[in-house]
Amino acid sequence: MTTGTLPRLLRCRSLWAACAALLLLAMHACKAKQPVAAAESPANTEAGKPAWVAARPVDNADYIGIGSAPKSRADYQEAAKKNALNDLASEISVTVEGNSLLYTLDRKYKFDEEFTSSIRTRTQERLEGFELVGSYADAANYWVYYRLNKAEFAQAKALRKQQAINQATDLYARAQASLKEGNLRTAFDLDLRALVAIKDYWGENDQVMLDGKPVPLANELFSNLQRMTAGVRLAVLPERCMLDWANRFRRELLITASFTDRGKALAQLPITISYPGQAGMVAESRNTDADGRARTTVQRTDLAAPAPEVVVRLDAGALVPADLDPAFTKPLLGSLAIPEVHVPIDRTMPKVFFKGNERNLGQPLADGPLLMALKEELSMRGFRAVDKAADADLLVDINADTREAGESNGFFTATLDESIKVAERRSNETVHEAGKQGVKGIQLSYAKAGLDAYKKAAQELRASQVPELMNTLLQ
pLDDT for 233-278, tens place per residue?
Answer: 999 999 999 999 999 999 999 999 999 866 789 999 999 999 999 8
**419, 435 in Cβ contact below 8 A?**
yes
Minimal CA–CA distance to 206: which of 172, 155, 152, 168?
A: 168
Cα torsion for 265, 266, 268, 270, to the nearest 10°?
A: -130
Q: Is the pLDDT at 48 greater than 70, yes or no?
A: yes
Determine whether 178 is exposed, middle or buried from the number of CB atoms within 10 Å of its CB (0-12, 13-18, 19+): middle
Q: Are 135 and 143 in contact (CB under 8 A)?
A: yes
**What tens digit of pLDDT does each residue of 173-184 get?**
999 999 888 899
Tell me which of 31-40, 207-216, 264-273 is least confident: 31-40
Indicate the SS3 state at residue 166. Answer: helix
Which SS3 state, helix, strand or coil, does residue 180 take?
helix
Asked whether residue 198 carries a pLDDT value surpassing 70, the answer given is yes
Q: Where are the alpha helices (DSSP H) in 51-110?
A: 51-54, 76-91, 101-105
CB burial of 429-444 (b: ≥16 within 10 Å; e: otherwise) equals: eebbebebeebebebe
Give the Cα-Cα-Cα angle 55, 58, 60 (nearest 5 degrees). 165
Distance CA 94, CA 117 (A): 10
| Cβ proximity of 188 and 82 under 8 Å | no
Higher pLDDT, 6 or 322: 322
pLDDT value at residue 16: 33
Q: pLDDT over 90 for what percent of the chain? A: 67
The β-bridge relationship of strands 62-70 and 213-216 is unpaired
Pairing status of strand 340-348 against strand 309-314: antiparallel
Query: 402, 454 in Cβ contact below 8 A?
Result: yes
User: Which has more confidence, 94 or 81?
Assistant: 81
Comparing CA positions, the residue from 55, 67, 110 lying closest to residue 91 is 67
pLDDT beyond 80 at 109: no
Q: Can you give the C-alpha Rg of the chain in angstroms?
A: 41
Give the model's pLDDT for residue 15.
Answer: 36
Residue 106: the pLDDT is 64
Judged against a pLDDT cut of 60, whether residue 348 lies above it is answered with: yes
17 pLDDT band (50/70/90 cuts)?
very low
- The dihedrals phi and psi of 110, each to the nearest 5 degrees, come to 55, 30
Count of other CB atoms within 10 angstroms of residue 268: 14
Distances (CA, A) of 291 to 185, 227, 239, 287, 391: 14, 21, 20, 11, 44
What pLDDT was estimated at residue 11?
A: 40
Looking at residue 113, its pLDDT comes to 66
Q: Is the Cβ–Cβ distance between 474 and 437 less than 8 Å?
A: no
Please enumerate in sequence order all residues whose Cβ is within 8 A of that of 459, keeping only pairs 6 or more positions apart, or say none: none
Q: Which of 91-105, 197-211, 300-314 has the lowest mean pLDDT?
A: 91-105
Q: What is the DSSP string of 398-428?
A: EEEEEEEEEEETTEEEEEEEEEEEEEETTT-
Q: Is the pLDDT of residue 14 over 50?
A: no
